[in-house]
Amino acid sequence: MRYACPPRLRLIPRICLRGLAAAWFALLLPSLAAAASFDCTHPTTKLYRAICADPELSQLDLQVWNAYGERIKALTPAQYEQVRDRHITWRRQRGRFERGMVQLTEDYRRHLAWLQHPLLPLEGRYARADGAELDVEIDLQAPAEAPALIAIGRLGKLQWLPAQPGLPPNSLRPDLGAAAPQPSTPLRDGVLRVVPGFVGLPKQPIRDCAFALRWLDDSLRLESTGDCGADFAGDYALQAPAHPWPRLPRPAAATPPP
């Protein structure tokens, strides 16, 4: 854009200079407004000032904002509650411990990868009518060509988890608790197939056992095969977040939370 001083004002240099400055500011204004998901001309917090001062972080902030707004358009109400709760938790905790710009940038990248993950709608806590629970989480370390989930199940005194690396398939494990590290399981044809390792005190060794988890909107159906029996089989419904932020009405348009 080139600013030309009107002929009648060429004899007044000060006015022409002001017009030139205004023209350049008009050119810069769109780039300043688009630097992040908020107004970087007046950052109000230490975190916002840090984001605005870093071009890469500013771009990531805008990408996260747009990715969230696009993603929630295709979610069911129950899925939206799960995604919104985790997104708000992340927003309110990002940069909280001031671990440095490198770690903050990495946190942004991981959250953006989570928002764009193809299996995002399947993540959450599922429960059966009798209280049995399944926790399903995305494994962001899995390769993009084989997106994976981590599934942990609980029922009474028995617990099942995917078999750990290095252990023989279908082996009985000592009681390591549900917090033991778990491998990822790729989802194929809409079905998550799990060969579980068991912790707890099963009455009989389980020699041949497998689960198939099939999703349908806000629920999943667990089918068991082999010798694991029907204790875990059934329909599990997606539950509300365990510790939700204060509920707000779902916006008619896809607008990210404040």
Question: Containing H/E element for 25?
Answer: helix 13-33
Over the range 211-228, which residues count as b (16 or more CB within 10 Å of their CB) and which as e?
A: bebebeebebebebeeeb
- Tell me the per-residue pLDDT of 58-113, one tens digit each, with 9 for 90 and over: 999 999 999 999 999 999 999 999 999 999 999 988 877 577 889 999 999 999 99
Q: Which ranges in 34-145 belong to alpha helices (H)?
A: 46-53, 55-71, 77-93, 101-115
Mean pLDDT, the chain, integer: 76
pLDDT exceeds cutoff 90 at 126: yes
Task: Please state the rounded mean pLDDT for residues 198-211.
Answer: 68
User: Given the structure tokens 């890469």, which residue do they identify?
Assistant: 56
What integer is the mean pLDDT of 168-179?
47
pLDDT of residue 95: 74
- Give the model's pLDDT for residue 248: 44
Q: Alpha-carbon distance 189 to 240, whole Å?
A: 26
Q: Is the pLDDT of residue 37 over 90?
A: no
Q: What's the rounded mean pLDDT across residues 157-181? A: 55
Per-residue pLDDT band at 25 (split at 50, 70, 90): very low
Question: What Å distances lie between residue 2 and 13, 18, 20, 26, 84, CA to CA?
Answer: 17, 14, 9, 12, 45
Contact present, 63 and 111 (Cβ < 8 Å): no
Percent of the chain topping pLDDT 90: 33
User: Is pLDDT above 50 for 33?
Assistant: no
